[in-house]
Structure formats: C-alpha cells, structure tokens
Structure 1
Amino acid sequence: MSATNTLLPLSEADLDRLEILLDDPSLPEPMRLDEIQGYLCAALSGPQAVPEEERLAEILGSEEAVASEVGREASDLLRRFTQELEAVLASGEPPTLLLYARDGEEAAPNDFSPWCEAYLFAVDASPEDWFEALESEAEGNDPAAETAQDELDYLDERLFPMMLLTGEAETAAREHGEEWPSGEELEKMERECEENLPYAASEIYRFWLAKRGTGTQRREVPKVGRNDPCPCGSGKKFKQCCGAVE
C-alpha cells in the first residue's frame, strides 16, 4: 500500500469520539465498538472480504446512515480503524480486543459474547460461503480431498472459541446428544477460549488471505443483510431477530 493510501491509526481520543458518534440518536441501531471489531475481523477474512460500503452500512445501520453528517464522520474513523485492524491481522499478531464489562459494570468480567456474535454474523453474511467449496473438495478420496478436510478442521478449531463463548457450541453438542462440560471444566474451557480468541481471529484471517484466488464457490442462496426482513417470517428486521448481535 502506498503512503498516500495509508491512514493514521486511531488515538484514544478518536475511539472516544467514535463511541460518541455511535450513540448518536440519528443512527439506526449501530453496532458497538466491541461488535464492530468482531464483525470486521470476520468481514475482512473469508474467501472474499465484504466490500467497504457494505461493511459501513452494516455497522452504522443503513446506507442512509452512512450518508448522513454523523455517518460520514463515523465512516472516516471506521476506515482508519479498519485499516489499522487489518494491518495487525495481516502481521500475524493478535489484535487487542475491545471489550465491555458484563452488565456494564467496570468491576465485572469482560463480556466476550457480543464480540463473538458479531464475528459469527459476519461469517454467515460473507459474500462467499466459508465452507461450501472446501466441503465439496473434501468429498473425494485423493490428496486434494485430504487437504480440504485438513483445512476444514483447521477452521473448525479456530472458530471454536467464538462458538463456545456465544453458547453455539453447547447448543450444537446438545442437539447431537453429546455431553457438555460444567463447573470447573467448563470455566477452564471458557478461560482458554478467551485467551485464544485474538490469536484465532488473526490465524483465520491469514488462512483466507493465503486461500484467496483459488476459486472458492459463491453461495447460491443470497445473503441476508442486517436491515433486511428476517427470513424466519417474524416481520422484524434480521438484525432484530435471528441476526441479533446483542
């Protein structure tokens, strides 16, 4: 990237300003900072990164919000935030996670769930399915199929922290009749996942960066945006129903 395209990293004052803008009542249910970071880590990954205009609309709530006065200022800060985050992910270093305390109390433990839910939302909303092409390649009996299966296993392992910290892993296990840990065993798993989360996000980004250009198949079913009607038929927006990140 040339120097003319390099934006300055955000200072603490810039982050504070972005938080203020995100709280502006003119924005229709924007993401919080923790959700933004989780969303972007996945939106920048995958077979194809989510285009900037789509990312901004998802984060700020609508295309109209992006075009507003508040949205334009927020978008400028978000572009800088995104560029800095992507540089960290590309370097192989784990990003410093932006997290809020549970229940909004400073003394409470950090709440990883919104960050992880936003990440998984971006995985599901990716322009190209993360798994479809690899699953198709893994169906054979040749070395290419073995490689594809290894890559699927690699992704599953690194997505596990997001799955566990949102409760998705427990739900899936119980649906398949599998036992789920509790007590100290579960607490240990949660601590390990919290520690591994930023490393997993970086490793997933670099995995897809290396994979791009290999012809990952486009998913046939159109993706659902946060502001589209929820496909479950509730009549609510997707972000207020099955796609809620809070």
Structure 2
Amino acid sequence: MALLIPKTTDDDIQALEALCERMTGFDELINLEWLDGYMAALACGPRRLSLEDWLPVFGDGLFDRVFADAADAEAARAVIGKRWAELCAQLDAESILDDHEVLRIDPLMYRFDSEDDEDSEAAEPSETPEAAPVAEAPTDAADSETADPAPADWPGDGVYWSLGFGEAIEDFPEDWVSPTPGDEDEETFYDLLESIALLANTEVQERQETIHRLYDGVDMNRDELITEAMYAVQELRMYWLHHAPKPATRRVEVKVGRNDPCPCGSGKKYKKCHGADA
C-alpha cells in the first residue's frame, strides 16, 4: 500500500524559505533549493534517518548556531521536519516498487528566467514547483577568467539542488559507500550520481559529453535533465535496498559462570582462578 504523502503548501515553502534565509547569513550557499537537495540525498540513502540524525551534521553544526534558542529551534525543526517527512514518503521504497515509471519525488527548485524558455517545446515539469526567486546563482566557474564559459542555460533550475545533494553525500560517507570494483551495478551507481551532478556542471564540453554518454547521444534541455535526475534519485533509493552497507560486526563476550572452568585452561573453576577477584 502506497504511503499518503503530505503536501507542501505555499505557506510551508515560505516558512522554509525564511529559515533558509537566516542560515544564509552563516553560509551563503544554503537556500531552500540547496536544503531540499540535501534532504533528498539523505531520504534516498541506505538508512532511514531521523531529523535528529542529520540536523546536527549538516553545515558543520549550522542549525545549532543559527537556532540557539530552544523555542526557536523547536519551531524550526517543525518546519524542516514537515518537508523531510514529505521527501521520505515520496521516496518510500515500496511505493516506488509498485510502479517505478511514476515520478514521485517533487523537488523544490527555483525557476530562473532563460532565453531558452520561450523556444523550448518541452513543458515546464510539473514536478518542479516554483519557489521564491533567488538573488544570485553560483558564479564561481562562470566568473573565472581561466574557466570555460558557462553553459547557455546557466544559471539554471536545479543548480543549488544538485549541490545540496552532493554535500549530503560528503557529510555521510559511511552511508554512501562506493560499490565494490567489478560489481555488476557499479556503472549504474555512478551513472545515477552523474545524472544528478550534471545539473551543476559548468564545464561545457564535459557536460555535453556526459549527456551524450548517459542518454545515447540525445541532446537534453534543462527540464529534461531535471526529470532524468529525479528518476535517478528514485533509482538510487532502489539501489540501496540491495547494497546497503553492512553494519559492523558486534562482538559479544560470553559471560563465564563462577563455577565454570576458567577460560585460561588451568582446569580450575573460574571463581578459584582468574575470577577470584571478580
């Protein structure tokens, strides 16, 4: 039975946006879209994390620095927690298995104005609701005098989302374990990650080559890349069902009874040998 997915309302988005604006003062890269991508990576990972598992980790403890007041922090957790619960429901493995062709994940992404929008024949993806516009997009690569020129659709929808997704992987390396070399799903795993990373790739030639390799030589516009990236997120959720890192072996010491033979091999009872002082 598919889970009932809570729906993010406009008020929810505005509340989450307001929280992210406060965090931006400590880390200018973080915004609503970035946080949504970050949470999506955790929601599709091998473990079902709770809010308290990752909030203290992301941004090197950023949440606790921004929301130091207890009441303020509780209110912020409620706002973030609602979106977190929604993403976890969208990426519920059983529901995806019911029909893997259905795109369930509904990302929060900024909609950038682009000259390509009017010419594009593809409709705006319904799975990408509009949030408040951002002031600036990442410009590190685009502004560098030595860097390759940025793609024509830069800055574009999904840039921050992809960056947030990647940051979550870096924050939880013990979860995102690389496949064993030669594993039959090794190439698939890296292709799925590349589909998501493409949204933030500014290297024009490298990006085009990757698109052609992943999509059999077909050119893709940004809306199509976003759709494929979201399917990749769902496929990663399925991947981890079969490749979750094994928990460390837990060693449990056998308790020796006082009248049992001493483990040292002396032949004496434990209470008269090494257990005499116990």
Sort the TM-score into its range (normalised by shorter chain). Answer: 0.5 to 0.7
Q: Aligned-pair distance for 1:131?
A: 3.6
What's the counterpart of residue 165 of structure 1? 199
> C-alpha distance in 1, partners of 2:187/2:24?
43
Q: Quick one: structure 1 residues 54 and 102, their matched pair in 2 at CA, closer, same or farther if it must change by over 3 Å?
A: farther
- Does the 8 Å contact 2:37/2:161 carry over to 1? yes
Q: Does 1:98 align with 2:108?
A: yes
Q: Report 1:166-181 matches (<5 A).
A: 166-167=200-201
> C-alpha distance in 2, partners of 1:26/1:100?
16
Q: TM-score, length-normalised on structure 1?
A: 0.62
Structure (1 or 2) with the larger CA radius of gyration:
2
What's the counterpart of residue 195 of structure 1? 227
What's the counterpart of residue 73 of structure 2? 71
Q: Quick one: structure 1 residues 187 and 49, their matched pair in 2 at CA, closer, same or farther if it must change by over 3 Å?
A: same
Question: What residue ranges of structure 1 are gaps of 5+ in the alignment?
Answer: 1-5, 139-148, 218-246
Deviation track 1:25-58 (CA, whole Å, cap 9, x = no partner) reads 7963383221111111112233345553353232
- Does the 8 Å contact 1:28/1:61 carry over to 2? yes
What's the counterpart of residue 259 of structure 2? none
> C-alpha distance in 1, partners of 2:79/2:22?
15
Question: What residue ranges of structure 2 are gaps of 5+ in the alignment?
Answer: 97-102, 114-132, 136-152, 249-278
- Does the 8 Å contact 2:22/2:66 carry over to 1? no
Aligned equivalent of 1:114, options 135, 150, 160: 160
Q: Aligned-pair distance for 1:7?
A: 9.9
Aligned equivalent of 1:204, options 230, 233, 236: 236
Deviation track 1:173-192 (CA, whole Å, cap 9, x = no partner) reads 59xxx96789xx79626554
Question: How many residue pairs align between the two structures?
Answer: 194
* Partner AA of 1:123 in structure 2: I
> C-alpha distance in 2, partners of 1:83/1:181?
32
- Does the 8 Å contact 2:44/2:237 carry over to 1? yes
What's the counterpart of residue 229 of structure 1? none
> C-alpha distance in 2, partners of 1:37/1:190?
18
* Partner AA of 1:204 in structure 2: L
